[in-house]
Structure 1
């Protein structure tokens, strides 16, 4: 079960990296005129995930990936080195209000990017 828990943690971490890197690369890509940053499906997935995470924080809902990982681990700490390192990066011991504000700011940033760097409309 720990291997499955590690895979869930890795997927969770990959999603977090995708969101953070996207928020940085979209404006940079607009500046450097990279066409892929305007891909509609990429932008929809990116914005949708961020809005979902912000709503989870606002309504105090634990992320399903966190719940699944805890179930697979039986709430034991990670046993593998990589799982422990990823957990330290992914799970911050801060008040829920911090995350609500952080994710809300991320959504506002993404809405700004959606307006200033709009996805290309398919014809």
Structure 2
């Protein structure tokens, strides 16, 4: 009997964890920046700030570290970033259009060369 109650308790715990995970608040980049900047201002302690915002202090410190590292990279001139999906699609379509133009010009060039060779032979 203990085995069945133990497994049902495990199943219930898994269900509760799944619900908590799905209902966990997702913070936007703007919210994260606002919270980190509030902490950097130092008007209140980090513990109070985190309690008010409903986040763990460890989460605040990881956001703060990411924020400062991004600023450091930006100031040092490292501006490499990942391309967005629309940018990638635009670049792909542009590359395809350019390839088509190159193919047309190559074909046109070959036809002109053949006509020049043919004209030269007729003139002799």
Normalising by structure 1, we get a TM-score of 0.33
Computing the radius of gyration from Cα coordinates, the structure with the larger value is 2
Higher helix share: 2
